[in-house]
Structure 1
Amino acid sequence: MVVLGLLVAVFFFLETASAVSLGTVYTEGGLVEGKNIRLGYRHHMDVFKGIPFGDIPGRFEKPQRHPGWDGILRAFEYMPRCLQLNLIMTDTRGSEDCLYLNIWVPHHRSVSTNLPVMVWLFGGAFMWGGSMGANFLGNYLYSGQEIADRGDVIVVTLGYRVGTLGFLSSGDSSLPGNYGLWDQQAAIAWVNRNIRSFGGDPDNITIFGESAGAASVNFQMLTPHNKGLFRRALSQSGSALCPWAVNENPRRFAEEVALKVNCPIDDKMTACLKMTDPVALTMAGTLSISSSPDSPLVHNLVIGATIDGDFFPDEPSKLFHNAADIDYLSGVNDMDGHLFTGLDMPSINSHLMNTPVLLRALTKEKGLAGMESAFSTYSSTWGTKPSQETIKKTVVEIGTDFTFLVPIQMSLYLHSNATISGTGRTYSYLFTEPNRMGGLTLPYPSWMGADHADDLQYMFGKPFSSPLGYWPRHRDVSGYMIAYWTNFAKTGDPNKGLDVPVTWPLFDTHSQQYLEINSKMNRGFVGQKLRQRYVHFWESVLPNIPLVKYDR
């Protein structure tokens, strides 16, 4: 026993002494030290939390490079998220000093070099969120550890300004908006300049994100300011063409904020707003969520990007030529709209349900003809006596199509067309793993598919890091997603690298092939022309119905 104990002690000594680590890393701002964690025999990871990529941002100004620091920065803890409303919009949290990023670097037998890099842009309606994500007992949603370890890639997460401080715009050059997007762009540029010191390949960077983060990924692809900074882009449940992504009348909301903080709404508005307390400005940016079928939530999401002539020299739909050489993978959850339609029409989560009057609000500009055409399209498969469940599912499909699926499909079409004159590749998916709470508790009925943000737990590997909360099938789908996502980041082809269950075909405007992702995948899970009847309705049929002229 003594000999065995000595051997064990020697083993652990040698393992500890030979721990693979970057040690102190040199960056443009100064020296940085992270935490080295042991994941297995000769299997370690360096984790850096809270590295500044920008200085404390000026109010309604573009971010500036950080001035640097003396000595060694110990990057051990997440820094505060950017100043924002709490989820119920009764108070604020966070700080204006928030432009920090976090890095996970995996090592095996030797210190990693030239690894692919994945840079995460969080979602949250451009109103909420942080680089670390939600926290449950110290388990942060956006921890990059499982993706980095299983996919052998470097993962970076970053903070950016949200709410009024990140996106308020007067609609002209005095307050152009898009400050949160400039923060993202500054972080991507910082990664491009510095990631080699962390063992990353600056010529193989992928940006990825979900919801507002997915729209942000699309925005970063389309702006001319990112040329050459990254190679691939991956969007989950969001695109630049989503109806909530761009505020086409930002002045109206800016004037509402100004009045709430006692600022004028004339040519002195911008100067006054810049001198106003940041907490007051943030509180003035509350959104109306008392939605109904006549005023759906999607129409109340007024914080977003603006066409400013700088970050966006034109409408996003006209800028896809800037992404001709970028590989693009994008998709949607099959019931992404449930979160929104459940607020607009709570009856979809109860026992009774009326016909989908939500269509009336979404087709309002086309009057009765638009409503009737929409209803005819969506009820065509009902039969003579549709069940309550059928009607409820249809309402969720309407919300999913309008809010997410159709604009994402249009982004895929535009990108695929743009790549004819470039080198980029296009991939499409539909995520259909049923919600884990379906049928167990409200607001999740038994027929639930994948709700908005359901994919995040699998993509970030929570079934592996928190195994007691999941079944084996959940680890299957998590493993599939990590493999596809990191293969794409490495090579631009989601099939090359780690083993995957189904070959994922390229998307083009002719075949329009997509992959259905869930825990039961097999060769039958490759489809074509995703919900084409409904895409055709929203993109071709409805626009050709004459507008209704309302008396003023």
Structure 2
Amino acid sequence: MKSPFYSQVMVWLHGGGLAIGSADTYPAEIPTSLNNVVMVTINYRLGNLGFLPTRDAETDGNVALMDMAKALQWVQANIRNFGGDPDRVTIFGQSGGAWGVSLLVMSPETRGLYRRAISQSGVAGLGASRRGDTTKTETLAASLNCTTTSFDDMMSCLRSKPAHDVLELDAPVPIVGGSFLPDADDLWDIMYKKEVNEVDYLLGTTDGEFSYGLLGTVPEVTADGLNRTVLSAILPAQLNFVAAQFPDGDVDNIVQPVIDQYMNPDSDDPIYTRDRFIQLMTDNRFTATTVLMAQAVAAHDTARVYQYEFQHHTTSVSPERPSYAKADHGDDLFYMFGIPLLRDDTGNSWKYSFTQEERDLSLDMMAYWVNFAANGDPSDSTGAARMRNLVTWPRFMTSSQSYLKLDVTSSADVKLRESNMKFWNEEVPRLMGKQVTTGGAEKYTWSFLLVAGAFSAVVSLLQ
């Protein structure tokens, strides 16, 4: 029941691939000043300090997720003192923070700590370790000249090392099969089998997640395009991220099917090849798992799910951005945090050179997000501090798969790149050894490092 005296609460999980980043780089002044909302930003342990597999029965090694849960427990106990309603808590995050949100939605340990969830540009389509498998820890220990013959001695040695040394290895890997994440083979199984909490969920991606910033990790892609022969050479390494979800599979099994899905065999135009490469990377790293998660949560009849694709190309943020880049990874953050609405020191002029359409888009996004946090429906402005004339955002259902194309002129559509989504969510898992039934499993009984942290660096460039 809503309290007339307390505001909805939104708890932000910062980005950075669960390995870098900090809460204090995300400004919440604009959305909180314009909307009836209390925002909380939290920190959590990162990298190996947050996800190092151990034999500790109390943590399973997912201590970063435990940090997030402890923060939510603190919010439940204390947020009324700050004007917040503990019965209307929404967790939200972008990139690595969005991974964190989705992991909390998968965890039975977090039920009751929040009511709604928002994932921007990412859900946990990641590789995972199984509880008791300390291979990753042993690899780290060996690299730091620690013994691996005795587990206790190995852990004692690791604890003696500087934190900086412990953090330097590879991307975090959540641990499944313990108390925090369900007993499953991997994270894909949890989503496919719909073993997720029954919560309202708003989630989506940009239409060019891999079209500029993250594309910098693939130097073979240039302004002149991508050579078709080079594509075949680099693709296996680029697909290792998605292949890591399927520990029993072989990445070589999916390389040619991916090429067949995305490339015209009669074209070797490097511009065409580059653009299709960007699309396939956006789909496999971000969009497909987002759709899979939306389907998993929507299987709960009472859970309200809303999907979006952010499609606005923002030129004012990076004037040097090439024309072929679409809405890049992190572009939505500027609008959701109200950056276009900041004034300069005099208060008489805008601080940044966004257009009036972009300022309106920012107001729309903040309204959608806060409406969802308040009412479970981004189009329902009941109790809003100010009204916006918003395009109606249709609910995502497993049959219709409706979504909103977020832009300066937003519109609704259905079944986002349906053929590609089925390819990544059904055909690829099958090729990697999974038993896949078209349309996914029935609902069970219980209800490379990403650079989202670069958002703060981009904001600093604007200052």
TM-score by length of 1: 0.67
CA drift of 1:350 comes to: 2.7
Determine the structure 2 residue equivalent to 1:272.
156
Work out the CA distance in 1 between the residues paired with 2:404 and 2:31: 21
Greater Cα offset, 343-352 or 423-432: 343-352
- CA 1:399–1:391: 2 relative to 1, 3 Å: same
CA drift of 1:174 comes to: 8.9
Amino acid at match of 1:431: F
Aligned: 1:345 with 2:218? yes
Work out the CA distance in 1 between the residues paired with 2:157 and 2:31: 41
CA drift of 1:433 comes to: 1.2
Work out the CA distance in 2 between the residues paired with 1:318 and 1:499: 37
CA drift of 1:196 comes to: 1.1
Work out the CA distance in 2 between the residues paired with 1:130 and 1:379: 39
- Which of 46, 53, 56 does residue 162 from structure 1 map onto? 46
Aligned: 1:286 with 2:168? yes
- Which of 143, 147, 160 does residue 260 from structure 1 map onto? 143
Work out the CA distance in 2 between the residues paired with 1:235 and 1:209: 6
CA drift of 1:489 comes to: 0.5
CA drift of 1:176 comes to: 3.0
Aligned: 1:113 with 2:2? no
Amino acid at match of 1:541: E
- Which of 418, 427, 436 does residue 532 from structure 1 map onto? 418
- Which of 23, 32, 35 does residue 151 from structure 1 map onto? 35
CA drift of 1:248 comes to: 5.8
- Tell whether the 8 Å contact from 1:359 to 1:398 is kept in structure 2 after alignment: no
Work out the CA distance in 2 between the residues paired with 1:459 and 1:394: 28
Determine the structure 2 residue equivalent to 1:502.
391
Work out the CA distance in 1 between the residues paired with 2:75 and 2:166: 33
Runs of 4+ in structure 1 deviating by more than 6 angstroms, as ranges, are none
Q: Any residues of structure 2 matched to 1:432-447 within 5 Å, and which?
A: 432-436=311-315, 440-441=319-320, 444-447=321-324
- Tell whether the 8 Å contact from 1:338 to 1:396 is kept in structure 2 after alignment: yes
CA drift of 1:258 comes to: 1.3
What's the secondary structure of 2:49's corresponding residue?
helix
CA drift of 1:406 comes to: 0.7
What's the secondary structure of 2:24's corresponding residue?
coil
Work out the CA distance in 1 between the residues paired with 2:23 and 2:431: 44
Aligned: 1:411 with 2:284? no
CA drift of 1:215 comes to: 1.2
What's the secondary structure of 2:364's corresponding residue?
helix
Work out the CA distance in 2 between the residues paired with 1:252 and 1:188: 31
Determine the structure 1 residue equivalent to 2:197.
323
CA drift of 1:543 comes to: 3.3
Aligned: 1:306 with 2:167? no
Aligned: 1:191 with 2:191? no
What's the secondary structure of 2:93's corresponding residue?
strand
CA drift of 1:222 comes to: 2.1
CA drift of 1:505 comes to: 0.3
Determine the structure 1 residue equivalent to 2:330.
453
What's the secondary structure of 1:264's corresponding residue?
coil
- CA 1:308–1:302: 2 relative to 1, 3 Å: farther
Work out the CA distance in 2 between the residues paired with 1:193 and 1:368: 50
- Which of 364, 381, 388 does residue 270 from structure 2 map onto? 388
Determine the structure 2 residue equivalent to 1:44.
none
- Tell whether the 8 Å contact from 1:218 to 1:239 is kept in structure 2 after alignment: yes
Work out the CA distance in 2 between the residues paired with 1:527 and 1:190: 39
- CA 1:274–1:430: 2 relative to 1, 3 Å: same
- Tell whether the 8 Å contact from 1:126 to 1:304 is kept in structure 2 after alignment: no
Measured against aligned partners, the alpha-carbon deviations of 1:422-467 in whole angstroms (never above 9, x if no partner) come to x2201100011114269842xx321111111111111111111253
5+ residue gaps, structure 1: 1-111, 134-141, 288-300, 548-552
Work out the CA distance in 2 between the residues paired with 1:117 and 1:501: 22
- Which of 134, 138, 149 does residue 251 from structure 1 map onto? 134
Determine the structure 1 residue equivalent to 2:342.
465
Higher strand share: 1
Amino acid at match of 2:190: K
Amino acid at match of 1:342: L
Amino acid at match of 1:169: P
Determine the structure 2 residue equivalent to 1:128.
20
Aligned: 1:206 with 2:90? yes
Determine the structure 1 residue equivalent to 2:437.
none
Measured against aligned partners, the alpha-carbon deviations of 1:207-259 in whole angstroms (never above 9, x if no partner) come to 1001111111111122122221211101101112x135x45697333223212
CA drift of 1:170 comes to: 3.4
Aligned: 1:519 with 2:408? yes
Amino acid at match of 1:481: M
- Tell whether the 8 Å contact from 1:331 to 1:429 is kept in structure 2 after alignment: yes
- CA 1:239–1:171: 2 relative to 1, 3 Å: farther
- Tell whether the 8 Å contact from 2:182 to 2:190 is kept in structure 1 after alignment: no
Work out the CA distance in 2 between the residues paired with 1:511 and 1:236: 21
What's the secondary structure of 1:213's corresponding residue?
helix
Work out the CA distance in 1 between the residues paired with 2:156 and 2:395: 51
What's the secondary structure of 1:337's corresponding residue?
coil
CA drift of 1:354 comes to: 1.0
Amino acid at match of 1:257: L
CA drift of 1:189 comes to: 0.8
Determine the structure 1 residue equivalent to 2:236.
360
- Tell whether the 8 Å contact from 1:430 to 1:517 is kept in structure 2 after alignment: yes
Q: How many residues align?
A: 400
Higher RCO structure, 1 or 2 (CA under 8 Å, sep 6+): 2
TM-score by length of 2: 0.79
- Tell whether the 8 Å contact from 2:130 to 2:177 is kept in structure 1 after alignment: no
